[in-house]
Structure 1
């Protein structure tokens, strides 16, 4: 059964502070927490939402098993009270056509550039312009079973909270990824497709904290969604 886990990470703790400076470190810690013996390399989705003004960050993981608290304690200085896990399927089964949810997604928006050489595949590059990042999500949403409702300004109900490039070192080489954090409102068009999206993620670089879509109930004025958790 799929597990949804939320981990509160205190950025003031030494191990956590060190881990949060590198996506490669975070990737390795999460992989080891799900597969301590490193036997099978269990596949997972995860996202780290950094807290504001020194408040705890939230690490979300969707995986086939509950992360090993011993690894999380050693690597992130978290204790049992910082970790909450539940079966994901009961929530997924509640999804129906027409429902509206607040959402957050940290994605790696990319596009493929055609090769100038016959017979060779094009190369994939990051999308850095805000308007193109929004267009990327609109295209993806059609494949993922949802759409963003249009507001009175005739714009989709979604904003990009953070857009940047992220660098980290992997096997001695520098990796650069485009990162965009989307907050907004979505409407369910195809529950089965959306369930698959919540389990499989959106876009590329999923092993490095991209692609996990999370939903929250809408309360009050949906135009005021800030910091969806």
Structure 2
């Protein structure tokens, strides 16, 4: 089973402020709530934290093999489980995806590339993609691989926009980890529903444990940033 969850968090709560100040800390809270450290072979846990426009509320989206333990979020983020936490089985939605459908999408990713190594057979060290046009090209290629493509507008440009980009650093096991996180939203058209379903459940790109790779879809008539 795959479960889609939404947790609404008041970003002014002192507990949420503390957790959100570190990606490693937030990762640990989600791992504890979803028991993801002990779910080998049972599916990947994905998550993404979205800021709501003109509001102190933030939305934490999670895709996991089972319903998270809401009590962890109550304790660590100060939410009310009854009012702020909701989950549903993901498969009924995934089963409705069909070739040719168009959906509004949102995703936060860690665009990287691996330069050719001087040593044959050894992959080069992964490096971040910084330029905006190259980040969009990276997403374009990823979408082709997961069974969809961005629609083209009247100016013959892909219907996609970057809504946020930041370099984030945090401490992990005594070392500093730095990630380039980019949030895209736009419109996609489905070419291969089965491949897209797999990507929606398993994520796209790297740094999935740190809030990257979760692709969400919304009907076009509901294309409001806070609903994606």
Check whether TM > 0.5: yes
Pair 1:76 & 2:74 matched? no
Runs of 4+ with deviation above 6 angstroms = none
Change in 2 beyond 3 A, CA 1:135/1:89 = same
TM-score w.r.t. the length of structure 1 is 0.93
CA-to-aligned-CA distance 1:195-216 (integer Å, 9 cap, x gap): 0010011100001100000000
In the other structure, the counterpart of 1:200 is 202
Which range is displaced more, 118-127 or 25-34?
Answer: 118-127
SS state of the match for residue 106, structure 2? strand
Aligned to 1:26: 26
Contact 1:97 1:188 in 2 (8 A): yes
CA RMSD of aligned residues (A): 1.7
- Of 159-168 and 51-60, deviating more is 51-60
> Deviations along 1:21-48, whole A, 9 cap, x unmatched?
1110110000000119x54467300000
Are the equivalent residues in 1 in contact too, given 2:148–2:191 (CA < 8 A)? yes
Paired position in structure 2 for 1:180:
182
Question: Aligned residue for 2:169?
Answer: 167
**Residues of 2 paired with 1:228 and 1:137: CA distance?**
21
Alpha-carbon distance, 1:50 to partner: 1.9
* Change over 3 Å in CA distance of 1:119–1:103 after alignment to 2: closer
Residue in 2 that maps onto 1:142: 144
Tell me, yes or no, if the aligned pair for 1:183 and 1:228 is still in contact at 8 Å: no
On the 8 A contact 1:106/1:212 being kept in 2, the answer is yes
For structure 2, which runs of at least 5 residues remain unmatched after alignment?
A: none
Answer yes or no: is the 8 Å Cα contact 1:102–1:184 preserved in 2. Answer: yes
* SS class of match (1:123): coil
Q: TM-score, normalised by structure 2?
A: 0.94
CA contact (8 A) 1:5 1:60 kept: yes
How many aligned residue pairs are there?
225
Correspondence 1:14 to 2:14: yes
Using the TM superposition, name which of 211-220 and 98-107 deviates more. Answer: 211-220
Deviations 1:94-139 (A, max 9, x none): 0000000000000000001112344533111010110000000010
Output aligned runs, 1:1-229, within 5 Å.
1-35=1-35, 39-40=38-39, 43-80=44-81, 81-219=83-221, 226-229=225-228
Asked whether the equivalents of residues 128 and 163 of structure 1 are also in contact (C-alpha less than 8 Å), the reply is no
| 1:164 match: secondary structure | strand
Deviations 1:137-193 (A, max 9, x none): 010011011000111111100011111211111111110011110000000000000
For the residues of structure 1 that align with 2:188 and 2:90, how far apart are their CA atoms? 19
Unaligned runs of 5+ in 1: none
